[in-house]
Chain A
């Protein structure tokens, strides 16, 4: 009810921040994103190079992955990213309470990804599959493990963003901080967008 009132009381004007040409967040975060993505691309091509040397092994190993859990995780991260970007739109319209709710939903979606990943890892260990099983599973655990660390950091970043939203005053500085956090969170999403088809889907 309060949320609806907050929304109704807000004049929706043309969002100047969204239409201005500006770097979202701090420029340094973009350097981090590009550098991180570069390392992942190197890992992707290494995976494909090793795969080309043992296609049958990689295909058999891939069949042991649970594709459906991977797909559910993709949907969770995409939903989480949408919550974050919509939260920023809400903030630019000074809908602070709604933005907080959306950040909370984003955090929960990200947490859901983590839970599904733990279930998936447990399944593998129960089947006796470890990083030492073969080179496919070495890549599987290393790539998804590094991504999982990114996710944990991202959940911390989202929690920090909620704390910033709660404690600091509205303004350019706060928006830039939140945009920086959002940029990092989207990195977690886009890395998974490539990892998922590469490991689970591509035949």
Chain B
């Protein structure tokens, strides 16, 4: 019975989350990874993928009514796009009027 409780999709998701963390941790130690595969963008994408896994599987938005699930999914996608946009084009967005003192 214990096996039924532990061998679940949630546990699989947890292992995936731990592995993704290890990959990001390792990638950030590679000196040339930015040049080769845009490592930092990849690290941010992995982060938002992890956020989605937590929201859908741990917070159980995957079992929630469609309105909550879609609101969550859209919010995560918008947050990811905003963070990536400011990471890559921060100085242009500041020049276009985003306030910094």
Contacts and interface: CB of A to CB of B under 8 A. Distances in A.
The 8 lowest CB-CB distance pairs between A and B, nearest first, are A52-B90, A48-B86, A201-B28, A82-B14, A52-B91, A24-B60, A7-B1, A202-B40
A189 B58 CA distance: 10
A24 B43 contact: no
Interface in A70-106: 71, 74-75, 78-79, 81-82, 84-86, 89-90, 93, 95, 98
B1 A81 contact: no
A93 B5 contact: yes
Contacts of B34: 203
Interface of B: 1-2, 4-6, 8, 10-11, 14, 17-18, 21, 24-25, 27-29, 34, 39-40, 43-44, 46-48, 50-51, 54-55, 57-61, 63-66, 68, 71-72, 75, 79, 82-83, 86-87, 90-91, 93-94, 98, 100
A14 B11 CA distance: 18
Q: How large is the interface on A (under 10, 10 to 19, 20 to 34, 35 or more residues)?
A: 35 or more
Contacts of B8: 86, 89
A30 B68 contact: yes
Contacts of A179: 60
Contacts of B57: 85
Interface in A1-44: 4, 7-8, 10, 12, 18-24, 30, 33-34, 37-38, 41, 44
Contacts of A56: none
B58 A22 contact: no
Dominant secondary structure at the A interface: helix
Given A46-B100, A196-B47, 16 more contacts: A7-B5, A23-B64, A24-B64, A38-B75, A48-B90, A52-B86, A52-B90, A67-B25, A78-B18, A81-B14, A186-B54, A186-B58, A193-B54, A194-B48, A194-B79, A200-B28
A23 B68 contact: yes
19 contacts: A22-B63, A24-B59, A45-B86, A48-B83, A48-B86, A50-B100, A53-B91, A67-B28, A67-B29, A75-B18, A86-B8, A86-B10, A89-B5, A190-B54, A194-B47, A196-B47, A198-B47, A201-B43, A203-B34
A18 B75 CA distance: 23
Contacts of A49: 86, 90, 93-94, 98, 100
Given A45-B83, A45-B86, A49-B100, A201 B61 contact: no
Contact of A53 (B47, B60, B94): B94
